[in-house]
Amino acid sequence: MLEHPKEIVTEDASVKSWKSYVTLAKMGIVSSNLITAFAGIFLASVYTGFSLTQNLHILILTLLGAGLVMAGGCTLNNYIDRDIDHLMERTKDRPTVNGMPARNVLWAGITQSSLGILFLLLVEPVAAIIGMIGLFVYVVLYTMWTKRTHSINTIVGSVSGAVPPLIGWAAVDPSLHHYAWVLFAIMFIWQPPHFLALAMKRVEEYRNAGIPMLPVVAGFKVTKRQMVVYVAALIPISLLLYPFGWVYTTVAAILSIGWFALGIYGFKMKDDIKWARLMFVYSLNYLTILFVLMVIVHI
């Protein structure tokens, strides 16, 4: 009679442990980035005549590899930031803050990243190299260095966040058609206004943690101005893919101009946090719609 409850406790602890590793991997971020990685591999297959349906192993290994590399990077980010995460409301409930052994987190991140690079290597060395570059930028140049030293950290992090479509494209076409670089540019330019909106929403948390995000060191006015500049740059960059057809071009123009208009409206709004929240939500919808649309118009 006494052993049955013990088995239940053990099982619950095991489930909780696995959920902790999933939390560390930031599956929301991984999932959204896999959309762009899929867009990259799908578009590359269309423009090179490569059949994904006859090479499902390439698709599966690429997405699995890219996903593991991203999950590993996020897990290592949790490991490195465990000394400051308790200072922020957004991160205070992470497993690394609530007693999960740091060594376990470190090895989980290393294992995930290594397996991801291995899977990409089995597909195409160029894809693996791009994955390693993205991982290095995110873990070393962003998390370990610029995140704690300079407001340029958002720009540095944008490099790693923009590589998923390159990984996907390289898996099929390692020569990287210029369309692949346009996808990279869209992702790169999209990230500063997205993450600066988040930084505005959480400005006091970043201030308490000693993280020099732009709203912390330069204020909202400068941050809003920079966000609008980046959004404005997305208009011509997104339209470089006009060969995708009139449907894509029209929707991309409407989305980009709409985001720019919302950005300009921010200079008139008195509630900066509300505006930042609107910009953040718009950015998520913008990226999802744009990349899903790229796939749809080529089906």
What digits encode the pLDDT tens for the residues 93-116?
Answer: 888 888 889 999 999 999 999 999
Given a cut of 60, whether residue 9 has pLDDT beyond it is no
Query: Which of the listed CATH numbers 3.40.50.720, 1.20.120.1200, 3.40.640.10, 1.10.357.140 matches domain 16-175?
Result: 1.10.357.140
> Quick check: pTM over 0.85?
yes
Confidence (pLDDT) at 3: 39
3-12, 98-107, 268-277: range with highest mean pLDDT: 268-277
Phi, psi angles (nearest 5°) of residue 58: -65, -45
Q: Which of 14-18, 93-97, 120-124, 253-257 has the lowest mean pLDDT?
A: 14-18
Average pLDDT over residues 195-212: 95
Given a cut of 60, whether residue 15 has pLDDT beyond it is no
Condensed to tens digits (0 to 9), the pLDDT of residues 45-88 reads 999 999 999 999 999 999 999 999 999 999 999 999 999 988 88
Phi, psi angles (nearest 5°) of residue 187: -65, -40
Confidence (pLDDT) at 1: 35
Given a cut of 60, whether residue 7 has pLDDT beyond it is no
Domain layout of the chain by residue ranges = 16-175, 177-299
pLDDT confidence of 16, banded at 50, 70, 90? low
* Mean pLDDT score across all residues of the chain: 92
